[in-house]
Amino acid sequence: MPAVTPIDKRRQGCYAILEAALPGQAPENIGVLLIDPAADRGWLRMRPRFDDLAAPEDAEVLEALEPHMVRCLAESGAEAYLQLLEDSLSNVLRVGERREVEVDAFTRVLDRLYSQHVAPLEVRPYVSHLPLYSLRAAAGGLGDEMPSEPEDWVRAPEGLRLGPDLFVAHVVGRSMEPRIPDGSLNLFRFHPVGSRQNKILLVQRFGAMDDTARYTVKKYTSVKAPQGEAFEGDAEWRHERIRLEPLNPEFEAWDVGPEDFAVVAEWLRVIE
């Protein structure tokens, strides 16, 4: 069963620093290229502006590099394009030596490398970034205990309306594949309202002995049955069966009672 925890499954990536060496100036780091060798995919982040570094005509050329390089990465593949840069770049634009890095989510690691080697990135909570929680910290909001501080702040996907009910977490395990890949970074919403039927939920199970069993992501289904008449003839309903289901047919579903679990959050989408 997938648990939401600090990521244990790390992948191996490699990165190179892009550098500008303009005439009469000391070389300066201007970007980071990060690649996933296993998937032959690349991520690039460069300075958004160069008017403080170069003359206007040179700044315009440098600012046009990022979209051009992103297209080349997609067309050529990350490994072939990085090799091309290593073989051809010199003088004004240079590429540094490859360095290995452990990766949980490539977008998150790219931002960290950019902040370390190029320029600090501004983190604006719930404006540009969302908190990364372990499941234990996320579930702390269910009781009197306040949730722990975020492990990190992760840049939010474009076009998403942010608020303090949103957070990100890793899902580890294969039981929700292919929709939720093992080791992926995912978006959740605390304390969902409305019907839970057929939603994918982050659930805390009571009575389980270890975190892997206590915190899980599953599809929720329930069957209800009437249990008598209430005021003005409206029937009262009871849960005849609540079932937590994996999406991967290799794994088994199980039945729970209302007292056996609490819903922490609703899964919304895979970020990476």
Give the domain 126-270 fold.
Umud Fragment, subunit A (2.10.109)
Q: Which residues contact 87 (CB under 8 A, 6 or more apart)?
A: none
Domain residue spans of the chain: 13-117, 126-270
pLDDT (tens digit, 9 = 90+) per residue, 237-269?
Answer: 555 678 999 999 999 888 888 888 889 899 999
Q: Which backbone phi and psi does 70 adopt, to 5 degrees?
A: -60, -40
pLDDT (tens digit, 9 = 90+) per residue, 147-167?
Answer: 567 889 999 988 899 999 999
**Coarse DSSP helix, strand, coil percentages of the chain, rounded to the nearest 5 percent:** 20, 40, 40
pTM for the model stands at: 0.79
| Helical residues (DSSP H) of 99-238, grouped into ranges | 106-117, 135-139, 211-214
Look at residues 7, 42, 2 and name the one whose alpha carbon lies nearest to residue 178: 2
Look at residues 154, 246, 136 and name the one whose alpha carbon lies nearest to residue 200: 246
- The reported pLDDT for the residue numbered 16 is 97
Query: What element of type H or E holds 99?
Result: strand 99-103
pLDDT (tens digit, 9 = 90+) per residue, 63-79?
Answer: 999 999 999 999 999 99
Residue 268's CB is within 10 A of a number of other CB atoms, namely 16
